[in-house]
Copies of this chain bind each other. A is one copy, B any other.
């Protein structure tokens, strides 16, 4: 039976050691898998090699991972926001490495990782500081930068609907990086607002086919206070 549904969050993270590369989907709070981020925090895995477009805000969600000192490296396109003082502190104290790249390059690198393309050329960033030290090449008289694929051991994804095969749909702009990360991660863990019966998702409108999904959970709310749990054990 092809059944990706799971009730045990610990099972989904089993065998993942410190230093793991983890991709977290979402743009702002849209499509952000908060329950799974909390489970990652609870797992105690540290030295995370984290890939996420944004760095999060406040005390909850991704921000808690940074505050708890679990992130060794962040790869993103936009590290500013309400968290930027914490980020600045971590980076200037040398406790966290930061790799920043254009958002479209980040998206395409993750897409390439999922689709078996090890590297590609992009015009984005050519002639800028970001391209310094990178391999460049002209196509049709225009400069381009070589970028490589990004993959991860774990991908955390937030869906609207999921079925037991792992087919997913996303709501409004919650799609963003979700289908790309689903494909690029070796182990894709999904939380969905709703788990529906097979066939309830129209085959034409599956936004991420089940073949990319490994675990599906129903989203449960995470209480504000519980984001502070790590402080007790720290």
**Chain A residues near B (Cβ < 8 Å):** 108, 112, 115-123, 137, 139-140, 142, 144, 148, 169-172, 202, 204-205, 207
Contact = CB atoms under 8 A, between A and B. Distances in A.
B121 A139 contact: no
A170 B202 CA distance: 13
26 contacts: A108-B115, A108-B117, A112-B120, A116-B122, A116-B123, A117-B122, A118-B121, A118-B123, A118-B139, A118-B140, A118-B142, A119-B121, A119-B137, A119-B139, A119-B144, A120-B120, A120-B121, A139-B148, A169-B204, A170-B204, A171-B204, A172-B204, A202-B205, A204-B205, A204-B207, A205-B205
A123 B121 CA distance: 16
Nearest to A207: B204
Chain A interface main SS type: mixed
Nearest to A175: B204
A105 to B, nearest CB: 11
Contacts of A204: 169-172, 205, 207
Given A139-B148, A202-B205, A204-B205, 7 more contacts: A116-B122, A118-B140, A119-B139, A119-B144, A120-B121, A170-B204, A205-B205
Contacts of A142: 118
Contacts of A171: 204
Contacts of A112: 120
A202 B116 CA distance: 31
Contacts of A148: 139
Contacts of A140: 118
Q: Which 9 A-B pairs have the closest CB atoms?
A: A118-B139, A120-B120, A205-B205, A119-B121, A117-B120, A118-B121, A118-B144, A119-B139, A117-B122
Contacts of A118: 121, 123, 139-140, 142, 144
